[in-house]
Amino acid sequence: MPIEKINTQRAPAAIGPYSQAVRTGDYLFFSGQIPLDPVSGNIVGQDAETQTRQVLKNIEAVLEAAGLAADRVLKTTVYLADLQDFAAVNKVYAEYFGEAKPARATVQVTALPKGALVEIEGIAYSGS
């Protein structure tokens, strides 16, 4: 099955050797997004709520570049620098995904790139 790379300037450029997303068949796998401003490359916000909003904006840009929306996301993994931010992240996450409610795992990690507080990756379905 061919693999299509998805990239958009509306989301931050990859900070390593990876694509913003790849599509194979009816599935889109989007790389972890951290709260980087796509223009400046700087972290947006000092708190988990603000950073989660930026992460989800970045994900939305990648999904749109693939012709998809949040309701097509099947699963996400949320990485937190501190599980104490769980409630703040959930608040913004629920606003973004609404009734779609993809399957999800949330884990605390030792550190995230560029000192981010949150990172989210996932899988979306582009079939009918």
pLDDT band of residue 82 (cuts 50, 70, 90) is very high
88-120 residue pLDDT tens:
999 999 999 999 999 999 999 999 999 999 999
| Domain extent for 93 | 3-125
The CATH number assigned to the domain holding 23 equals 3.30.1330.40
Region 23-49 average pLDDT: 97
Question: Could you give the CA distance from residue 19 to residue 30 in angstroms, rounded to a whole number?
Answer: 8
Max intra-chain CA distance, the chain: 42
Tokens of 80: 């937190």
| Total domains in the fold of the chain | 1
The whole-model pTM stands at 0.96
At 122 the pLDDT is: 98
Q: What percent of the chain has pLDDT over 70?
A: 100
Is the CB of residue 106 less than 8 Å from the CB of residue 86?
Answer: yes
List CB contacts of 59: < 8 A, sequence separation 6 or more.
Answer: 11, 30, 33, 70, 120, 122
